[in-house]
Amino acid sequence: MKKNHKAICINHTLFKGVVVFFLILIWGCKKETQNETPNPPVPFQGFYQPEHFPSSEQPFDVSKINEKSFALGKRLFYDPILSRDSTISCGSCHIQASAFTQHGHDVSHGIDDLLGRRNALPIQNLMWQKNFLWDGGILNLELVAINAITSPVEMDESLLNIVEKLKRSKVYPQMFKEAFGNEEITSTKMLVALGYFMALFISDKSKYDEVKRGKAQFTEQEQRGYNLFKQHCETCHKEPLFTDQSFRNNGVQHFFTIDKGRYEISLISGDEGKFKVPSLRNIEFTAPFMHDGRFPSLMDVLNHYSDGIQNYTNLDPLLINKIPLNSQEKQDIISFLKTLSDFTFIRDKRFSEF
Amino acid sequence: MKKEFKNIFQILVIALALSITACKKKDDNHNHDTPTPQQPGETEIHLENRIGNLKFYLNESYVNENGDSVKFTMFNYYVSNFEFIKEDGSSYVVPKDSCYFLVKANDMESQELHFKNIPAGKYKGVRFIIGVDSLKSAAPLEQRTGVLDPATGAQGMYWSWNTGYIFVKAEGTCPGIPDSLQNKFKYHIGLFGGYSTPTINNIKKVELLFGQNIEIKSTKKPNIHCYVNPLEMFKTPTTFDVKAQPVIMASPASKTIADNYADMIKFDHIH
């Protein structure tokens, strides 16, 4: 009886063990199956207006951006067939980790190792820009790419050739069909698709943005830097885009023989040497600085504003007395500028090449 | 009380009478319109390149106002925003979707501008611009079709670095231009006045009067024959020396050439 009881007990324990074992198995299996089922598809997020941004400036129709047209734009952006000898793509000079600039290059490094004359600008928040390039020469988002594609020192290719190459491709006709409803490949569609891709490069998730949303707080040093920034820099680098989109001469250059800047577009005497005030968003990633990439670090830039400015021709009146800053203040400003770094943006898988 | 009633009655009668006449009038109009429908007509403007009485040819030498011998290898220009001026001074504006033309010296067909659906009537002239208006110059790409498509129709007439089109593109040679430039002149004249900040505006308005009224209707398609003189870009108001400035693109000097070519298109005859 005792034995029996024991046997029952053993059996019982064994039974329990088996049950637990199976439960674990099932649970394991279940977990595994859960892992195997793909995550519920994240709905495609098209264009959106960050609540603390002004209304957008571009007439580009972002309502047509969908998963397919975005995917086509992305493929084109990273495809070197957009260059004459298929060596460089848009992504070659606009690298995501560097907020879509060409890190380490003072001026653009294009086809045949040729050099441009200006520093590649970041691609971000394009829908809020009134115009594009350092001199504001182009007004429409979807027309900017023509400049780089056809420039003899950048991609040196014609739009018509690209259309021919795309037509011969095995993948593009289908992708154009999915994006636009028919297989016909035109340069307009190609440029619009590139625009769809780039229009979604919205950088609005930096620490600064989180502070503005009341979800984070500046450190003491960042706050000191922010106060100094508002005192000394905000007139030109206007929040929240950190540019007032004006053209100014900040006293880096005396001669304008190589590059007359805004004058080349406006032809207004006095605009020689003026360039678009660049946004400071993601500035931590976009060295070197200025239109010709002359300053390797943010400290060099601040040293220029505190001591380096010369009263050159067409110097902006706001800079005639330079910007008095001691080294602690410069450190504080740099600490604030780093709160403009948007890691979500530079790591966003939707925008990355691989 | 009785008087008031009478007044109201009177008003009612008048109102009824008015409403009847209003109806009648409407009917009258309707009846009046239908018997003589005026079908719209078509017309053509022929822009023929000529030097005086002679036909103009590419790669032929011509002596300009400054006494220099010039040879054109290219002479292309945009005309747009057409308006036909009616007998009474009012005008018919050609719709935006069919008012842009790129005329090329090496393409005879491009020199015939076709206009359809013009309201029947008598017209005494036509207005247009040499160039492309500022609104279209800044329009989204999808609204730039045909001769305005940067890749196809406007190939070579579109600046990739500066918003806008090249209104007049004239290239060629002159023996007096230095060998270092291979004796070549290149005039790429554009600039629509700027979008946010004003810059040079080289859009030139043209008004051509026919000196008579021409009738356009469904059964009559007049051909407005005009002569275009490429050498006009070198004279009036400024006699221009190609040797001194063989290359002009987006620069203040472009205004001199544009002011000169403003009168290069002249009405000659109707047939």
DSSP letters for B94-122: PPGGG-EEEEETTBGGGGEEEEEEEPSEE
Task: Say if A192 is an interface residue toward chain B (CB within 8 Å).
Answer: yes
- A292 — pLDDT class (breaks 50, 70, 90): very high
What pLDDT, on a 0 to 100 scale, did the predictor assign at position A20? Answer: 55
| Residue B54 exposed, middle or buried by CB count within 10 Å (0-12, 13-18, 19+) | exposed
How many Å apart are CA B267 and CA B123, to the nearest integer?
14
How many Å apart are CA B22 and CA B24, to the nearest integer?
5
DSSP H helices in chain A: 2-36, 67-77, 90-93, 144-150, 159-168, 172-180, 187-199, 207-212, 220-232, 263-266, 298-303, 327-337, 343-346
Contacts of B140 in chain A (CB under 8 A): 59-61, 140, 142
Partner-chain residue, chosen from A140, A163, A266, that has the shortest CB–CB distance to B141: A140
Please compute Rg for chain A using Cα positions.
Answer: 27
Q: Which residues 6+ apart lie within 8 Å of A92 measured at CB?
A: A80, A102
Question: Would you give the DSSP letter of residue B262?
Answer: T
Question: Would you give the DSSP letter of residue A95?
Answer: B
Partner-chain residue, chosen from A139, A150, A192, that has the shortest CB–CB distance to B138: A139
Which stretches of chain B sit within 8 Å of chain A by CB?
138-142, 144, 149-152, 155, 158, 160-163, 191, 194-197, 199-200, 250-252
Mean pLDDT, contiguous 10-residue spans, chain B (271 residues): 52 50 45 63 97 96 97 98 97 96 97 97 97 95 95 90 94 95 96 88 97 93 97 97 96 96 98 90
Task: Say if A191 is an interface residue toward chain B (CB within 8 Å).
Answer: yes
What pLDDT, on a 0 to 100 scale, did the predictor assign at position A16? Answer: 62
Structural contact between residues A269 and B251, judged by C-beta atoms closer than 8 angstroms:
no
For residues A100 and B32, the model is more confident at A100
Closest CA to B271 of B210, B218, B230: B210
- What are the C-alpha distances in Å from A306 to residues A5, A201, A233, A291, A329? 92, 33, 12, 19, 11
What pLDDT, on a 0 to 100 scale, did the predictor assign at position A31? Answer: 47
Report CB contact under 8 Å: B140, A139. no
Query: Nearest-CA residue of chain A relative to B151?
Result: A159
Answer whether A62-203 and A207-344 agree in fold. yes
What pLDDT, on a 0 to 100 scale, did the predictor assign at position A116? Answer: 85
- B148, B161, B202: which to substitute to probe chain A, counting the most A Cβ within 10 Å? B161
- Convert the pLDDT of each residue in A22-66 to its tens digit: 555 455 444 444 455 566 777 899 999 999 999 999 999 999 999
- Tokens found for residue A86: 């298929």
Name residue, tokens 């049950």. A19
The C-alpha of B44 sits at a distance from chain A's nearest C-alpha, in angstroms, of: 30
What pLDDT, on a 0 to 100 scale, did the predictor assign at position A13? Answer: 59
- A265, A269, A274: which to substitute to probe chain B, counting the most B Cβ within 10 Å? A265
- Convert the pLDDT of each residue in A321-353 to its tens digit: 999 999 999 999 999 999 999 999 999 999 999
Count of Cβ atoms closer than 10 Å to residue A266 Cβ: 23
Structural contact between residues A283 and A290, judged by C-beta atoms closer than 8 angstroms:
no
Question: Domain boundaries in chain B?
Answer: 1-35, 41-270
The C-alpha of A166 sits at a distance from chain B's nearest C-alpha, in angstroms, of: 14
Percent of chain A with pLDDT over 70: 89
Partner-chain residue, chosen from B141, B197, B252, that has the shortest CB–CB distance to A143: B141
- Tokens found for residue B168: 């007049």
pLDDT for residue A312 is more than 60: yes
- Cis-peptide into A288, omega within 30 deg: yes
Task: Say if A155 is an interface residue toward chain B (CB within 8 Å).
Answer: no
Percent of chain A with pLDDT over 90: 77
How many Å apart are CA A339 and CA B203, to the nearest integer?
47
Mean pLDDT of all residues in A259-272: 93
Average pLDDT in chain B? 89
The C-alpha of B72 sits at a distance from chain A's nearest C-alpha, in angstroms, of: 25
Count of Cβ atoms closer than 10 Å to residue B57 Cβ: 14
pLDDT for residue A105 is more than 70: yes
What pLDDT, on a 0 to 100 scale, did the predictor assign at position A112? Answer: 83
In this structure, which amino acid lies at residue A104?
Answer: G
- Convert the pLDDT of each residue in A154-212 to its tens digit: 999 999 999 999 999 999 999 999 999 998 999 999 999 999 999 999 999 999 999 99
How many Å apart are CA B79 and CA A152, to the nearest integer?
30
Query: Nearest-CA residue of chain B relative to A266?
Result: B199
Closest CA to A191 of B166, B146, B142, B161: B142
Structural contact between residues B9 and B188, judged by C-beta atoms closer than 8 angstroms:
no
Domain A62-203, CATH among 1.10.1040.10, 3.40.50.150, 1.10.760.10, 3.30.565.10: 1.10.760.10
How many Å apart are CA B62 and CA A272, to the nearest integer?
39
Closest CA to A289 of A135, A63, A81, A134: A134
Partner-chain residue, chosen from B141, B142, B252, that has the shortest CB–CB distance to A267: B252
How many Å apart are CA A350 and CA A70, to the nearest integer?
9
Structural contact between residues A172 and A166, judged by C-beta atoms closer than 8 angstroms:
yes
A207-344: CATH topology: Cytochrome Bc1 Complex; Chain D, domain 2 (1.10.760)
Question: Domain boundaries in chain A?
Answer: 62-203, 207-344
The C-alpha of A197 sits at a distance from chain B's nearest C-alpha, in angstroms, of: 16
A337 by DSSP, 3-state: which? helix
What pLDDT, on a 0 to 100 scale, did the predictor assign at position A106? Answer: 85
DSSP H helices in B184-270: 254-261
How many Å apart are CA B36 and CA B181, to the nearest integer?
64
- A126, A140, A157: which to substitute to probe chain B, counting the most B Cβ within 10 Å? A140
**Count of all residues that appear for chain B in the document:** 271
What pLDDT, on a 0 to 100 scale, did the predictor assign at position B21? Answer: 47
Q: What is the largest CA-CA distance in chain A?
A: 112
Average pLDDT in chain A? 90
Asked if the ipTM is above 0.90, the reply is no
Looking at chain B, the number of H-run helices and the number of E-run strands are: 3, 14
The C-alpha of A313 sits at a distance from chain B's nearest C-alpha, in angstroms, of: 20
What pLDDT, on a 0 to 100 scale, did the predictor assign at position B36? Answer: 58
Partner-chain residue, chosen from A130, A151, A192, that has the shortest CB–CB distance to B141: A192
